[in-house]
Chain A
């Protein structure tokens, strides 16, 4: 028997009407187009895409904060536009870089306040706050004013706020944004434990960190420019790339390499270079391993000296490159400069 659906969208779309100032004519911005998703109960589902891809817009629609301009969406079986009150009883949301709550209140008081909005009686709210704070490692900060917390600690408080109400469907929008490596790891392990404990919990995570999506998610949808380009398990998404060979190379070169010369070599599918402190890091995708010798010859021709060469397994970043033709950070840079 198939599992019930926690989230379903049908041809979901959203167009924003924007205008920078009163004199300017209103223009339309397509944020989501024809999104069809089915997320099963118990799934940890990832939405992976660059900034501006439409991930947050989708979350806003599913959490009843924004109405779609076309299509429909259901959360926990309820229509988000027609039955928002039913949806709200069953969800919660945490966003990265959130500054919610009141700085004059302590962590415990802020969390207690939000628990009241979900009808959790004070004794139970306080017990849960204590327990969750111990799990995420901020029990010693419960009586600290939230304005005195560091970014990492503040995000841990936000994470507790989201999990405190034991939602059926939890939305995490870039939950590790701006966190250091250690804090991100803590958050990820906390999410996994919460999911593993109850098969009826569903979590929708948006991220632009590939590692996060790969490590946590049962299934991933790759989204760009408002469209879902692919949706499957990370393993199956990467399986489509099994005929390609991925190399990571570090070279010392007098200048940036000429991409065009490399892409002219038959069998070279992708070539990206990233300047690092003392060297250049190259991401190269080949159709077959035999092409490598020609690539090495081209290094010599461009006076580049190889420091290290690694063959690696495909990642979700490679899946993204295959689908979009650009790396995620390149897409983000284009979006930033267009804005």
Chain B
């Protein structure tokens, strides 16, 4: 009897694409939950900065909905951190670990690998974001007044598609930048907290600054979600929810399409220049 029988049928086309997405998302969907320390680092620590803003708003007598704004902003911060550290810089780390070369030489489409990373990261972060909202709402006694569940789901989904599309796009750029990527990720972290209005209504930045900040999908996503879940949300909102949904659709298409073409371009460039394998080999 054969010790190494041939494989009956290897899947290809869309089936291979789907299998790759599932395979690559697995380490994040299952593996990342194994280390229980995430509850402390990814839920408790973000709640500390949320608490700081809550105490400031209460001390100055800001409207109570601002507390809710901060809790929702704190939850959305988790997605930004995930996109920055586990999406954008991921291809670089994969290269250093030796995984990238194995992805490239496999028949799996690289877009499916990136999508798998995004789906896995989104799932893992969703758990953390839900935990932050649940614990934060309980501690700070936040009340929600959801005006439209469907719009809320649409806004959240579009924000995530656009945000992770941005992450997929920057993953290719970061791959090209190699070690510089780490500095770039550091550089992008704090300013985005400010301009996307994580802890305050983005309208306060002024129209043009808020409009420029809208390139980051979190800005409009967060603004629309606040308008949809808090009673005073619409009065503090930047643009109408319908307009924000429209812009998020455009951003989603632009970022995902750009990610696809950029990835193909960077892969060709990296093969030409020999940048796909780890530095030590």
Query: Chain B nearest CB: distance from A99 CB in Å?
Result: 5
Q: Which B residues touch A116, using CB under 8 A?
A: 19-20, 22-24, 108
18 residue pairs bridging A and B, Cβ less than 8 Å apart: A65-B271, A89-B12, A93-B101, A95-B98, A100-B99, A113-B27, A115-B23, A116-B22, A116-B24, A116-B108, A117-B107, A119-B16, A121-B11, A131-B3, A163-B4, A165-B10, A166-B6, A197-B3
Question: Which B-chain residue is minimally distant from A145 (CB atoms)?
Answer: B34
Residue A78 at the chain B interface, CB threshold 8 Å: no
Question: Which A-chain residue is minimally distant from B278 (CB atoms)?
Answer: A99
A65-B104, A117-B103 are known contacts; what are 8 more A-B pairs with Cβ within 8 Å?
Answer: A16-B274, A63-B101, A99-B97, A116-B22, A117-B24, A121-B11, A124-B7, A124-B8
Residue A64 at the chain B interface, CB threshold 8 Å: yes
Count of interface residues, chain A, beta-carbon cutoff 8 Å:
47
Residue A193 at the chain B interface, CB threshold 8 Å: yes
Query: Chain B nearest CB: distance from A61 CB in Å?
Result: 10
Query: Chain B nearest CB: distance from A297 CB in Å?
Result: 49
Decide if A118 touches B102 in the complex (CB within 8 Å): no
Residue B190 at the chain A interface, CB threshold 8 Å: no
Cross-chain pair count, CB within 8 angstroms: 124
Decide if A118 touches B107 in the complex (CB within 8 Å): yes
Q: Which A residues touch B98, using CB under 8 A?
A: 95, 98-100
Of the 9-residue stretches A102-110, A219-227, A232-240, A266-274, which lies at the interface with chain B? A102-110
Considering the chains assembled together, what is the distance between the CA atoms of A117 and B276 in angstroms? 18
Residues A66 and B24 in contact in the complex (CB < 8 Å), given A109-B30, A197-B4: no
Question: Which A-chain residue is minimally distant from B97 (CB atoms)?
Answer: A99
Query: Chain A nearest CB: distance from B89 CB in Å?
Result: 16
Residue B26 at the chain A interface, CB threshold 8 Å: yes
Q: Which B residues touch A60, using CB under 8 A?
A: 274, 277
Chain A positions 81-102 with a Cβ under 8 Å from a chain B Cβ: 85, 88-89, 91-93, 95, 98-102
**Selected contact of B7 from candidates A93, A120, A132, A135, CB within 8 Å:** A120
Decide if A88 touches B31 in the complex (CB within 8 Å): no
Query: Chain A nearest CB: distance from B213 CB in Å?
Result: 33
Residue A299 at the chain B interface, CB threshold 8 Å: no
Residue A114 at the chain B interface, CB threshold 8 Å: yes
Majority SS at the chain A contact face? mixed
Which A residues contact B (CB, under 8 angstroms)?
16-17, 56, 60, 63-67, 85, 88-89, 91-93, 95, 98-102, 104-105, 109, 112-121, 124, 128, 131-132, 135, 161, 163, 165-166, 193-194, 197-198
Q: Which B residues touch A99, using CB under 8 A?
A: 97-98
Decide if A63 touches B105 in the complex (CB within 8 Å): yes
Q: Which B residues touch A121, using CB under 8 A?
A: 9, 11
Considering the chains assembled together, what is the distance between the CA atoms of A183 and B105 in angstroms? 26
Q: Which B residues touch A198, using CB under 8 A?
A: 4, 6
Residues A166 and B271 in contact in the complex (CB < 8 Å), given A65-B101, A119-B12: no
B147-161 toward A: CB 8 Å interface, digit per residue (1/0)? 000000000000000
Considering the chains assembled together, what is the distance between the CA atoms of A173 and B4 in angstroms? 21
Residue B2 at the chain A interface, CB threshold 8 Å: yes
